[in-house]
Amino acid sequence: MVEYYVDNSVNRTGGFITIVKYPSRHIAECSVALNFPGIEKHKNPDGTLFEKEQMITPAILMKVSDSIRNNQQVFSEQALREIIDIKPIIPFDIKRKIKESELKKEAFVFFPNQFNLTIAMDINGHILSVKETHHILQSIIKEYRKDFEKRYGGGALFVAKFPDKFLINSDYPVIIQIFKSRVNAFISFLDFRIKKSGFFKSKYTYDSFIDIKKELEIIYKITIPTLEANIEILQLTKNKNNAINLYTHKIKLLNSERKKKEKEAQVAYDLLKYMRQPEKYQKSNNDHITSEETNLTIDSAFINNLIKQDSTSFLLKAVLKSETQARTIEVDIECFEKEIALLKGKKNRGAHEKEKTDYVKKDLIDIKNNIVALAERANNLNIEFSKNIISNAVQLYKDVEIRKVRDVNIKKNAVIACVVSLFLSIMLAFFIEYIKNNIKAARAEKPYEPKKLSRS
């Protein structure tokens, strides 16, 4: 479709009309509003950089293209990309603040969350109907919403499943260590969710990640340590020989570590004795030294004394640290040796001990069930929180409307028209002046002869 724009510009020196011809076209436009955590910082919910082009990715346009083919129209993804444009919406007050900041030479940061999505109604010589343009724009928003929900709607889940017959096949100390490791990972997961959700509570159960963490910390700091202490006091084990072999292996490793620490302490002690020898840091008494050299010798002695003090302090700390670690390892070895002695001298369980063992087994089952139940609560809450984030994340802010735009800037055309009119005025003035000069020259070549009157 081609229209003509007529500009009637009249110059003071001569009136004329300048006609400027340029095309116009129709476009369909709608507005999209994004509302999710992070968009105010120009980021996606996962912390990655947000880009407006992610609303019209090739995958999204391919799905839109497939939906158009189903309507008996063939539009490729590349063809759609050529007629689609997306621009941020900047409110008027923000524009004013940007201009004020530019005048003051200050930085003004604004991250938009509303965008205009436009589509030209002419594609490969085919004029799109209003129905087709509505379908394309609405399909783009729909597919982007689906992609957004797929990416950020699920949320990470904590896996708290334990192997089958875990409590039956594993020994008590091993079970305790697995519980500690699993609960510690669970708490780290909750810390990450609390950082993202804050004080978010379920509108159905009024549950929160903070409440779940408090219950989990009771298990981690009270229930598990108490049960571990009872197991150690009662010397409970499902296989006495395996426990003895395990403690024996630990004693072997600790003995090796103790010898290393004792060797480190001995080396540091020998160096400390060497550093304390006074003849290593005596001043020079050479009579043939000049004044400048004497000052240098005194400075060197001063530096050596500083080095001696620092080295002595460092070596003393190293000796104390290594000896302390060696003594601590000796205490651990003694404890394991006592454990082995108690296991070897342990007789068959009595009725009272069997009752305590059954009590420990029940506590282990309760701890396992509580961890699984808390994980299920946390995962359900996490899903609800994720759905709450994406529920209004992508919204149609302004419905599709058709409007006409011009391919060429009107202001630019007005300037061009003024320039053209100026040149035409100058040319017209030269032309008029040229005619006047020719008339004067013709009159000068043929002098004027007055007409004689006859006498009657």
**Residue entry with tokens 């004080």:** 199
Q: For 271-288, what is each residue's pLDDT tens digit?
A: 777 766 655 544 444 444
Higher pLDDT, 163 or 117: 117
pLDDT over threshold 80, residue 351: no
pLDDT over threshold 50, residue 335: yes
Is there a contact between 333 and 247 (Cβ–Cβ < 8 Å)? no
Query: What residues does each domain of the chain span?
Result: 24-152, 166-390
C-alpha–C-alpha distance, residues 178 and 137, integer Å: 54
Among 280, 277, 278, 275, which residue's Cα sits nearest to residue 319? 275
Going by pLDDT thresholds of 50, 70 and 90, the confidence category of residue 353 is: low
Going by pLDDT thresholds of 50, 70 and 90, the confidence category of residue 225 is: very high
pLDDT over threshold 50, residue 303: no
Q: For 376-413, what is each residue's pLDDT tens digit?
A: 999 888 888 887 777 778 888 888 888 776 555 556 66
Highest mean pLDDT among 226-230, 288-292, 298-302, 390-394: 226-230
Q: From residue 284, how far is each of 274, 290, 303, 308, 309 by CA, in Å?
A: 20, 13, 14, 17, 20
Is there a contact between 272 and 322 (Cβ–Cβ < 8 Å)? no
Going by pLDDT thresholds of 50, 70 and 90, the confidence category of residue 37 is: confident
Q: Work out the mean pLDDT of the chain and round it to a whole number.
A: 76
Going by pLDDT thresholds of 50, 70 and 90, the confidence category of residue 218 is: very high
Whether this prediction's pTM lies above 0.85 is answered by no
Q: For 259-268, what is each residue's pLDDT tens digit?
A: 888 888 888 7
Looking at beta carbons, which pairs linking 232-236 to residues 24 or more positions away fall under 8 Å?
234/353, 234/356, 234/357, 234/360, 235/339, 235/342, 235/343, 235/346, 236/172, 236/357, 236/360
